[in-house]
Chains A and B, each alone.
Chain A
């Protein structure tokens, strides 16, 4: 019931915002454009210049790889996902209008590729069981996180979130690890802002319940 009330509230807020945005004279936030180098290389790639696309890949692959490390920590799979992003980007390059930075456009493709991988994986096999006692050992009262190595912190979070459904995992990964707000999450997933809010709320509730199962987490 509280979920339904929050959903209604989110729907109303979204409707009010949509009406306000459509009023004449209302300033629309224009997305920052791409860098000139990106625009040039996109234009040359469309004309069939492979070197231009090579430059684009070299310029953006590190950022895309960093993003996709949230989706798979298996090195081979990770590399394949990065590769898929650039193949998909090439195939849909005609659809890129240059209004938003190329890296935002690539981030959307990367999110789609990563999410698709999770869904396929979830269909094939159940999530690897995770011993929640390890969570308590590693995190404890929260102060212990400071002594964790960044790689271990990332691994631990990855394994906890792997217990969630792909949809829940996506919003939580974008929220906590990619530090995306509602607008950015909506942009990356292609969902409405209302859907993102509702989905995030549900996913947070399910994560809280999961962590409570460890026995030491109490609702605060």
Chain B
């Protein structure tokens, strides 16, 4: 008997095992009625999609802005460095 047959036998044996009885009815209903977990309303869904779309646009825009700022600021930096040299 190879390893897999042993595993399969064991699994077949385990099919008859007892599962502990659980009753989660009250706790689930309590969580739901206490408002700890509620499905999103239609308005919340709209806001969620809007937030996602805004983020999707904002992140690339921020990256582009940073790159453009760095490019435009570098000549200014050169002048500032030159002046600081002259002052020294």
List residues of chain A with CB under 8 Å of any chain B CB: 50, 53-54, 57-58, 61-62, 65-66, 69, 75, 78-79, 82-83, 86-87, 90-94, 139, 141-143, 145-146, 148, 150-151, 153-154, 156-157, 160, 176-177, 179, 204, 207-208, 211-212, 217, 220
B63 sits at the interface (CB 8 A) = no
Q: Tell me whether A176 and B39 are in contact (CB under 8 A).
A: no
Closest chain-B Cβ to A88's Cβ sits at a distance in Å of 8
In the complex, what residues of A have CB within 8 A of residue B6's CB?
Answer: 139, 142, 145
Which residue on B lies nearest to A138, using beta carbons? B10
In the complex, what residues of B have CB within 8 A of residue A50's CB?
Answer: 29, 32-33
A83 with B28, Cβ < 8 A, contacts A61-B22, A65-B19, A69-B20 known: yes
In the complex, what residues of A have CB within 8 A of residue B21's CB?
Answer: 62, 65
In the complex, what residues of A have CB within 8 A of residue B8's CB?
Answer: 176
In the complex, what residues of B have CB within 8 A of residue A179's CB?
Answer: 11, 15
B1 sits at the interface (CB 8 A) = yes
**Beyond known contacts A65-B22, A83-B27: 13 more, CB 8 A cutoff:** A50-B33, A54-B29, A57-B24, A58-B25, A86-B24, A87-B28, A91-B38, A145-B6, A145-B10, A148-B10, A156-B10, A179-B11, A217-B3
In the complex, what residues of A have CB within 8 A of residue B11's CB?
Answer: 153, 157, 176-177, 179
Which residue on B lies nearest to A83, using beta carbons? B24
A145 with B25, Cβ < 8 A, contacts A53-B32, A93-B39, A154-B14 known: no
A90 with B33, Cβ < 8 A, contacts A57-B28, A139-B6, A217-B3 known: no
B2 sits at the interface (CB 8 A) = yes
Contact with A along B42-66 (1 / 0, CB 8 A): 0000000000000000000000000
* Interface residue SS majority, chain A: helix
* Interface residue SS majority, chain B: helix
Q: Tell me whether B22 and A79 are in contact (CB under 8 A).
A: yes
List residues of chain B with CB under 8 Å of any chain A CB: 1-11, 13-25, 27-29, 31-33, 37-39
In the complex, what residues of B have CB within 8 A of residue A220's CB?
Answer: 2-3
In the complex, what residues of A have CB within 8 A of residue B4's CB?
Answer: 204, 208
**Mind listing 23 A-B residue pairs with CB under 8 Å?**
A50-B29, A50-B32, A61-B23, A62-B21, A65-B21, A65-B22, A79-B22, A79-B24, A82-B22, A87-B28, A87-B32, A91-B39, A92-B39, A94-B39, A146-B13, A150-B16, A150-B17, A150-B18, A153-B14, A154-B14, A157-B14, A176-B11, A220-B3
